[in-house]
Structure 1
């Protein structure tokens, strides 16, 4: 791929670190600008095709991984366990709802986080907020909290390691039969396992039928897993922009799918401007203040050709708001003929502070937002296109509830997140089984093109 120049920002760039040494920043950016791409244009185009099926109501998106990756967390075991959880969820969704599942990890680049305040105060001491390992360190010391652009080079190197591990795992160890065996273990060990026994039996029968018929499609032994992260640090993203010699288009080669977050989605902002110029599939996070006109604006700026798969809207409304606020956004997109994938992020709108001061989330509220998301789409006759969750393959105690009955008094046992609370493996599978039930109830996966539904609604 051809290196693209590092364009200086024009519109305002929000949530960017205050790098203390401009010369050090230039040195790092120059190194990244000549580094090999982490992903390639044809891979991004392949994901656009897969997400086009989601936008047309023919597939379901499962996107999950860490809230914030850490350099210390880049280990073979950690990546394998995270992917194993994602693949287990995908097996449940695929067989439980008979719907193709597009699998995207929040990985290989999710090392930076936006913050509500640029500074943090403790006992009268004020220091820069922790913005993820790509920017500074979590320890509350001046040395750790001072932004260091050299960390972006470490992010690049760590992302390359993660992608290599993901590709190796997806090509060799992601056998569908193994994934189902993992699920059987969950059913046997989980306190809520009995409710899933029927579905597990159906999966057994389906795999046995395939074996008896001598059917062994390639997808049973390998799987596609794409990489995504929030495209937050524009110095990093611009430096890794490359023109692909095969497609002739410019891509952000830091990941297959990049999303614009709730705090950086200004239509006249630098993030929207930059990502409008790359060919990757893109997503925009939509919080409760999003207006229907903004939805139209994102489509005009980021998907002017109205190509299914180019743009995905990830809704993070909160359980109390989704039923009231989401319909107007979807109706606006229908009225304007906008073909996008609608995905539910039930995590970020349902965070609260436990009595011990830790941030946590209640699984019941997470599931309630998902139910509301499905109810809205059922009422409008549109496709609930996917779920976007923060999860880990470890047995952490960061979110409350689930078949393991984690309580706020249990949070201290294994509260290990670098930023926001994540679902553990058991809670992630709880969620997957319930989503499969909701998909099954609405009859998803029958290959219908939702653009032919309810034409009257698109007339305003």
Structure 2
């Protein structure tokens, strides 16, 4: 594999990039990254693209979830295990309810950089550069900590490689056994104040698993899952250094992750991020907020998917609970008018953030669910498929979002508020959301009379 030749992306116009003072150090970091092996392989990206094509056609559901911003210190076996555990637990519930495969994509092994509204932050009269994620600088509010350091890009690569290595061991080595994963959900139902109907669903899944075992479904089918890595393709030096030419096809791929997405702040049609991702053959996500102009949205999907390729595009809407029912129909209709059928995914996190009186940035579980519910309502009215959700969550018992089964109040936020950036759902809130989603998916499946046996001949975990 070789690095594809691309135009000077900075000259095109690159927003949200670090301000490095030592260009020689940047060049050295980029050269080192360029000599490293790819983190993912082009064939894996193609496999995910095929699965997203099924999502777009209503034959699968996408669960994309993980940390708001990974940190170097959070890369431990316990944290990776807990995050994977909650996502697999959610996927089992969703897959049983929807009766279609759940495509599992983590915000993992690369989500180390964050766009910021302001370049600087001021505290008690001291102004320093904003924290842009561990890929750029440190959270510590000191001149040394907030300095933009290109050597951190190499550390991102190292920790991403370690993360992917452990994830692959987990999902291939028995940790993801469907029977074990369901036992985690059963524990949640027994030990939390959830409603009786969730207990009934859990019991149904348990009977279904027992039936599969008696029918002789192979252990491999129950133990191995497909899991993919994704992140926002924000830092151009890093993404370009890890772009490679696929030896099978001669096409360029971004090998920093299976799926890459463009954020709300970097989706300028003439900007460097759109230019870079338009040239890579990975499945691509586009974050879409309520301010998007129809002309810009049309231009984006046409540039990023000129050949109308199945599975190429995932539109991740982040509209807010108050706006989703009014804004989403026009967005869907604008894209439909181009002749494209992307996977439609709801991000109910970013449009629903608020600050509490005690100084914490948080999100309310009922409001998060309201946006998901509105997303489903709109798709039902338009006859389109609500293809998935995109969540910021952790497998740890943090206290960052209020509400949910634990009835967390604003006063509880101080107990374990650990995020480096935005508030995440904790393990129990994530599982509760999965049970809510299961009900909606079951309703929609029943309404449209979908029979998965028409399209799938085998279990696809």
Q: Indicate whether the TM-score tops 0.5.
A: yes
Q: Which residue of 2 aligns with 1:128?
A: 129
5+ residue gaps, structure 1: 450-460
CA–CA separation in structure 2 for the residues paired with 1:430 and 1:387: 14
Q: Which residue of 1 aligns with 2:442?
A: 440
Q: Deviations over 1:339-365 (max 9, x none)?
A: 100000000000000111110000000
Task: Pick from 175, 178, 190 the counterpart of residue 177 of structure 2.
Answer: 175
Q: Is 1:53 aligned to residue 54 of structure 2?
A: yes
Q: Deviations over 1:156-198 (max 9, x none)?
A: 0000000001100110111000000111111111111533111
Cα distance, 1:331 vs structure 2:
1.1
Paired residues, what number?
449
Cα distance, 1:448 vs structure 2:
11
SS of 2:103 mapped into structure 1: strand
Q: Deviations over 1:317-340 (max 9, x none)?
A: 000000000101111222221110
In the superposition, relative to structure 1, how do residues 292 and 219 fare at CA in structure 2: closer, same or farther (>3 Å)?
A: farther
CA–CA separation in structure 2 for the residues paired with 1:442 and 1:95: 13
Maintained 8 Å contact 1:6/1:239: no
Maintained 8 Å contact 1:56/1:448: no
The aligned runs of 1:317-328 (5 Å cut-off) are: 317-328=319-330
Maintained 8 Å contact 1:58/1:100: yes
SS of 1:3 mapped into structure 2: coil
Q: Is 1:103 aligned to residue 104 of structure 2?
A: yes
Task: Pick from 277, 280, 300 the counterpart of residue 278 of structure 1.
Answer: 280
Maintained 8 Å contact 2:137/2:147: yes
Maintained 8 Å contact 1:88/1:429: yes
Maintained 8 Å contact 2:99/2:452: no
Q: Given the two structures, how large is their TM-score scaled by the length of structure 2?
A: 0.95
Cα distance, 1:3 vs structure 2:
2.9
Q: Which residue of 1 aligns with 2:218?
A: 216
Q: Deviations over 1:57-107 (max 9, x none)?
A: 111000000000001111111101000000000001011221210000000
The aligned runs of 1:20-419 (5 Å cut-off) are: 20-172=21-173, 173-192=175-194, 194-216=196-218, 218-419=220-421
CA–CA separation in structure 1 for the residues paired with 2:8 and 2:167: 33
Maintained 8 Å contact 1:57/1:447: no
Cα distance, 1:217 vs structure 2:
6.2
SS of 1:314 mapped into structure 2: strand
Q: Once superposed, which parts of structure 1, at least 4 consecutive aligned residues long, lie more than 6 Å away?
A: none
CA–CA separation in structure 1 for the residues paired with 2:102 and 2:30: 36
5+ residue gaps, structure 2: 455-461
CA–CA separation in structure 2 for the residues paired with 1:374 and 1:16: 35
Q: Given the two structures, how large is their TM-score scaled by the length of structure 1?
A: 0.96
In the superposition, relative to structure 1, how do residues 66 and 141 fare at CA in structure 2: closer, same or farther (>3 Å)?
A: same
Q: Deviations over 1:430-451 (max 9, x none)?
A: 11111111111111764599xx
SS of 2:25 mapped into structure 1: helix
Instruction: Out of 84-93 and 3-12, give the one that drifted further.
Output: 3-12
Instruction: Out of 186-195 and 284-293, give the one that drifted further.
Output: 186-195
Q: Which residue of 1 aligns with 2:459?
A: none
CA–CA separation in structure 1 for the residues paired with 2:68 and 2:451: 33
